[in-house]
Amino acid sequence: MARQERAEQTRNAILEAAASRFDAVGFLGASLSEILAEAGVTKGALYFHFKSKEDLADALIDEQFTVWDPLAATESPGLQTVIDLTQGMAASLQSDVRVRASIRLVVEQGSFIAPAGTAYKRWIDTIHGCLLAAKAAGDLRKEVNAYDLAVYVQASFTGIQLSSQVLTGRADLLERTTFMWNTILSSVVPPRRAHRFAPEGTARATAAV
């Protein structure tokens, strides 16, 4: 096995173990010794790839944005793109420990040196761009402010996934996200265009899950 391939496998093992611990007990509850034991690597191997526990957390926070990958080639982003992003995130939260750890780390921002507030802004900016395109296409009512709606969507999904985690271990998250979109769509989309959108998401939403 090539050295580069072994290094990548080691890095992935460390990230997987860190995600498992962060998802289970949070940033403050997870210790490097537990992460090392679960990954089956030495301290030297860990520090070769990551300078600190904070560095590990930062790397995992980026994992949540992998749900964008199937939609990156979308020729005409718009409102359905935003729906698919949230449904893709919901599916990833059910199946991917790295994404779950990433979201927990963002929610716990301030628990480590580099606050994760930029993750919220990154989501808002992405959603905002899609909603601006949707408004230009006539898919949003004229009185709807695209930025305000982007903030609302991000905040609503964050609240829904947290309550779903507490109440059902996220077992109902896809259904809760669909309900969220049924409610939002009825308020922001012109009635003549309502048939264009699938609140449950399209096949692209879970393509990478």
pLDDT of residue 116: 54
pLDDT tens by residue, 121-167: 888 999 999 999 999 999 999 999 999 999 999 999 999 999 999 99
pLDDT tens by residue, 75-105: 788 999 999 999 999 999 999 999 999 888 8
Dihedral of CA 198/200/202/205: which sign? positive
Choose the most confident range, by mean pLDDT, from 7-11, 84-88, 108-112: 84-88
53, 112 Cβ separation under 8 angstroms = yes
Higher pLDDT, 116 or 202: 202
Cβ neighbours for 15, distance < 8 A, ≥ 6 positions apart: 56, 59, 60, 63, 98
The whole-angstrom separation of Cα 18 and Cα 9 is 14
35, 21 Cβ separation under 8 angstroms = yes
CA angle 45, 48, 50 (to 5 degrees): 105
Q: Which amino acid is at 155?
A: A
Q: pTM here?
A: 0.84
